[in-house]
Amino acid sequence: MDFLKRYRKMISLRGLTDHTVKSYSTYISAYLDYISNKLHKYPSQVTWNDIRDFIEWIQKERNLSDRTMNHCISQIRFFTLYVLHKPWDTYQIPMRRFDDYLPYVPSQKETMAFIDSFTNLKHKAIISLMYSAGLRVGEVCRLKYEDVSRSNMRIHIKRAKSRSDRYALLSQNALDILTEYWRGNGRPKGYLFPNRDDNEKPMASFSVNQFIYAKEEELGWNHNLTCHAFRHAFGTHLYENGTDLLTIKRLMGHKSLNSTMIYIQLASYTTLAVKSPFDLIGASYG
């Protein structure tokens, strides 16, 4: 039996995208290779000890974080349950605990300075859309001409991460930049940001990270910015400017309000005009 093929088939039956199927197969490939070439066993013969040994081995081999190791364990669990049809014991293979870090979010001033620094209109339009509408990089890359509604000032996001459509906010400033780019680049009627080698395909998401990195290098900034930092900046700056969390949740397409609550932590206390009670009582020391 081709176990990897069977595994991918079982994942695809859940209706996941090809990209997700590929992503969910990352560690199973390594797991099956380990079983065959190191243990010389069939997957059905693997013991809990073998799985624990593999988990220790791959973490050292690839220097994986505990958060990433949980993805690996989840893939082995799915394989065991749905391909081998064997029970899974969480007491034998526990999930890892990991540290939670707050993502880096540029200030409103830093965000505008970064966007204004672009002379390449394509790059400027992409960053402007990610920030002004809180879009994921893949959502921007897959935008088509028909998705942008000038009359309603909104953007139709199709098949988002949550597998549901939504409408995102269309900023007038972002629309002006996008229009200037569109007019100067052949007025594309399909993908707004087509692949350089094939106009029938969207541009690759990794290329956006590349030009962000290059721009930080040019400006002499520390390499803190990622594509997702601009989505987080959108949510954070909305909250700083007084937008309620339910509205932010809807604009960002979050399924749960818990996902939106992070912007309370990321918001600047200075922008929110929050003061410590120690300052408000007028205590002075000299």
Reading the block at residue 186, the tokens are: 């052949």
Predicted TM-score (pTM) above 0.85 = no
Phi and psi at 80, nearest 5°, equal -65, -45
- Residue type for 91, please? Y
Nearest to 240 by CA among 138, 135, 142, 111: 111
Give mean pLDDT, residues 167-176.
94
Domains, the chain, in order of start with CATH, read 3-82 (1.10.150.130), 108-266 (1.10.443.10)
Give mean pLDDT, residues 228-248.
93
**Contact indicator for 119, 181 with CB cutoff of 8 Å:** no
Q: Where residue 282 falls among pLDDT bands split at 50, 70, 90? A: low
Give mean pLDDT, residues 105-118.
95
Give mean pLDDT, residues 253-262.
90
Q: Under DSSP, is residue 15 helix (H, G, I), strand (E, B) or coil?
A: coil
Task: Return the pLDDT at 44.
Answer: 92
Q: Which residues of 164-188 are buried (b: 16+ CB within 10 A; e: fewer)?
A: eebbbbbbeebbebbeebbeeeeee
**Contact indicator for 257, 249 with CB cutoff of 8 Å:** yes
Q: Which residues of 123-147 are buried (b: 16+ CB within 10 A; e: fewer)?
A: bbbbbbbbbbbbbbbbbbbbbbeeb
Task: Return the pLDDT at 22.
Answer: 76
Q: Where residue 269 falls among pLDDT bands split at 50, 70, 90? A: confident
